[in-house]
Each structure stands twice: as C-alpha cells, then as structure tokens.
C-alpha cells in the first residue's frame, strides 16, 4: 500500500469531523502524525486534485461539512497515462531526452565528432583548451552541459529514473521555469565542484543534479513540509548511503572509469542551500 500525502494540519486541530465526513463518502484515508503535524493521506491517486482543493477550502473555513454532498475525482478520473504524466513535466522530459542524446554523443562514432562542444573544457585530440578561453568566446553552456553526457546505458537509465521520480515532484512544486533555474544552478555547482576537485574535464552525468534534488527534498521536508516532497526517509537514507559508498572507491571496481563524487557532493550541497533559501516559497 502506497499512501499519498495530500495535506498537513496542525497537531492541535480536531479532524474527527472531517475524517467522518470522508469515511461516510467511502473515501479511504488515514490521518497520522508526521514531523509534528497531522498528515491526511489517501490511496487513490485519482482523487488527489479534487481532494486537495476541497481541503484547502476546508482549512480556510469555506466548507460546511453538513452541506457538502460528496468529493469526487475529476470527470476523467483514473490513473493518468504515461504520456499524460509526461506532458505535465516538460522540463523533466527535456532533461531526460537531452541525457539520452548526451549518451549518444559519448558512445557513438558520429557523436564523438560533436562531443567537444559540450564538455566542461573544449579539446582537440588529447589537448584541452583552458576554460577561460572558452568562456571568453561566450561558451557559457559548458558550465552545465556536462550534466547531459552519460557513459553507457546503465548510467543514463539510473539518472533518468531518479530524475523522473524526484524531478517531477520538484517541477510540480516550483513550476517549470523555477525548476529550470534549479537545474541550471545545481548543474553548474556540481560540475564546478567536480572540475575543481579532479582537475579533469573528463566527466559527465545528471547525478549531481539528482543529488541536488535529494538535498532539496531532505531540507524542505524539515523546514516546510509539503505533500509533493513527502518521500520515504529510507529513500533519502539510501541515496546518502550510496554517496558514501561511492566515495570509498568500492564502486569504481565495477565500472569503467570512476564515480564523479565531487559532483555528487557539490550537487547535494547546492540543493540543500537552494531549499533553505526558498523555504518560505513554493507553497502551491
């Protein structure tokens, strides 16, 4: 059973009448204490939009429970198709598509001819051109485009799955333009951290941004809880465990190359800071 958090209420608020009202109408739900608040959650994803609207009105005192007949999902009730879900998060989809293209640049002969345009430093043969020269020519995109470069199918699949799961939450919460800004800031932070730590421009991957999502969600859950970032603590714990495991070098024995650990840490820190600076915003 996967409970979906819909709304949080203060601990001191009596929700018994609301709970009875929902139960009488056959809406399966639960109310549990989480992070010092009461969390109302449901099992049916289809009723969430209508229920959120109803609960917002209830919290503002605009609803008389005795006069409300029912709470029903939208006319097109049912689980949205994958295409419908994707249409709601265009930035996430673009990032996943660009990651796939980046993998083709790295892994195919035709792609390698274009690869040098998207690495952190430009290069000719085995000679890298100083980043300052590229930036002086206006090639600002190099600060974030390494996030799209992936080394192998499993690399791009792993990062894309996390982007689909965590990235959608953030795009829903902050909106597409703010999420695009979040990506740009955290991708630059992760790439710069990796470059400064390793001194090499031979790196890539969206995992720095994925860890920025982890950092944002972990901090936001504590400072300003919201149903969209209500992920299981075990998931955050797993990602942090994986971060530490990679830093030990153990994972490097099973892959070609090495893990960009500094990008992970840089992204994680950037995501945490972003969540702290925006803790009073994004309350949709």
| Other beta carbons within 10 Å of 101 | 16
Alpha carbon distances (Å) from 223 to 64, 265, 278: 32, 21, 10
Report DSSP state, residue 165: I
Given 150, 155, 226, 264, which residue is catalytic?
Answer: 264
Q: How many CB atoms lie within 10 A of CB 177?
A: 10
Task: Reply yes or no on whether 207 is catalytic.
Answer: yes
Report the Cα 85 to chain-centroid distance in Å: 15
Give every CB contact of residue 38 below 8 A, 6+ residues apart in sequence.
Answer: 8, 9, 10, 11, 13, 15, 31, 32
To the query of whether residue 126 is one of the catalytic residues in this protein, the response is no
Q: What is the DSSP string of 243-269?
A: HHHHHTTSGGGGSSS---HHHHHHHHH
Which residue out of 132, 207, 226, 256 is catalytically annotated?
Answer: 207
Q: Give the Cα separation of 158 and 79 in Å (integer).
A: 25
Q: Answer whether 103's CB lies under 8 Å from 155's CB.
A: yes
List the catalytic residues: 207, 264
């Amino acid at each position: 059973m996967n409970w979906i958090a819909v709304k949080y209420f203060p601990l001191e608020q009596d929700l018994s009448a609301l709970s009875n009202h929902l139960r009488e109408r056959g809406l399966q739900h639960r109310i549990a204490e989480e992070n010092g608040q009461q969390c109302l959650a449901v099992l049916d994803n289809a009723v969430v939009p209508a229920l959120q609207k109803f609960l917002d009105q209830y919290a503002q005192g605009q609803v008389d429970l005795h006069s409300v007949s029912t709470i029903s999902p939208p006319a097109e009730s049912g689980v949205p198709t994958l295409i419908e879900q994707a249409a709601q998060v265009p930035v996430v989809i673009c990032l996943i598509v660009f990651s796939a293209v980046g993998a083709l640049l790295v892994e195919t002969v035709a792609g390698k001819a274009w690869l040098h345009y998207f690495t952190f430093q430009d290069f000719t043969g085995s000679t890298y051109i100083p980043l300052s020269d590229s930036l002086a020519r206006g090639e600002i995109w190099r600060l974030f485009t390494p996030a799209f470069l992936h080394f192998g199918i499993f690399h791009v699949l792993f990062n894309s799955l996390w982007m689909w799961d965590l990235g959608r939450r953030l795009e829903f919460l902050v909106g597409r333009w703010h999420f695009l800004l979040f990506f740009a800031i955290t991708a630059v932070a992760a790439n710069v951290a990796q470059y400064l730590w390793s001194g090499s421009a031979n790196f890539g991957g969206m995992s720095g941004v994925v860890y920025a999502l982890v950092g944002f969600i972990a901090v936001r859950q504590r400072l300003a809880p919201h149903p969209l970032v209500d992920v299981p603590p075990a998931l955050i714990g797993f990602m942090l465990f994986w971060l530490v495991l990679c830093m030990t070098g153990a994972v490097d024995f099973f892959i070609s190359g090495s893990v960009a650990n500094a990008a992970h840490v840089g992204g994680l820190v950037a995501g945490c800071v972003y969540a702290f600076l925006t803790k009073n915003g994004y309350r949709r």
